[in-house]
Copies of this chain bind each other. A is one copy, B any other.
Amino acid sequence: MPKQDRSRATRRRLLEAAVACLAEHGWAGSTVSVVAERAGVSRGAAQHHFRTREDLFTAAVEYVAEERSTALRALFPEGAADRRAVIAALVDLYTGPLFRAALHLWVAASNEDQLRPRVTELEDRIGRETHRIAVELLGADESVPGVRETVQGLLDMARGLGLANLLTDDTGRRDRVVAQWAELLDEALA
């Protein structure tokens, strides 16, 4: 592999290990050393890519969020699609390891001044991008009063469903809630 490709592959391994580490061990248990070991990379190489712990973990959440956005768009290559399927896919964004990792980062940022501005900015960026994708795939017309808030509320609900899935497997209940709200939202957006 050429040097540049190797460097990019190392970076990606570190980012993926960082998200997995955050999701499993939380912020307190997530250090550059732990991630480097998990990724099979030396601590020095890890620090070459990411100068600080904050750099590594905010970059990791951003990278995986972008991967998820790309995957979500790829699920619906034609753009606006069956609303129920889109709603289910949007909710799925909030129930996997990425959401768990992001949640640990947000909660840590609420008490850590060093982390707070970076995570606030990151959350804002990811939130806007997710909203943009949701509007596009749902074929929602935001020039109609209330439509913007209907879509925002759906993403808030998805975030709340993610939280409800943190300690126990909430799949059964979630599927029923999503089925019901998909029906209500389909009507509201029609």
State the A residues within 8 Å of B (CB): 24-26, 28-29, 100, 103-104, 106-111, 116, 119-120, 123-124, 127, 146, 149-150, 152-153, 155-164, 166-168, 173, 176-177, 179-181, 183-185, 188
Contacts and interface: CB of A to CB of B under 8 A. Distances in A.
A188 B184 contact: yes
A155 B160 contact: yes
A165 to B, nearest CB: 10
A123 B181 contact: no
B156 A164 contact: yes
Chain B CB count within 10 A is highest, among A100, A180, A183, A185, for: A180
A24 B116 CA distance: 14
A23 B162 CA distance: 20
Contacts of A162: 160
- Per DSSP, chain A at the interface is helix
B26 A167 contact: no
A128 B107 CA distance: 25
Contacts of A166: 106-107, 110
Contact of A146 (B25, B107, B127, B183): B183
B167 A111 contact: no
A140 to B, nearest CB: 13
A25 B184 contact: no
Contacts of A123: 167
Contact of A160 (B100, B156, B177): B156
Contacts of A26: 107-108, 110-111
A153 B178 CA distance: 8
B168 A156 contact: no
A115 to B, nearest CB: 10
A161 B157 CA distance: 8
A39 to B, nearest CB: 20
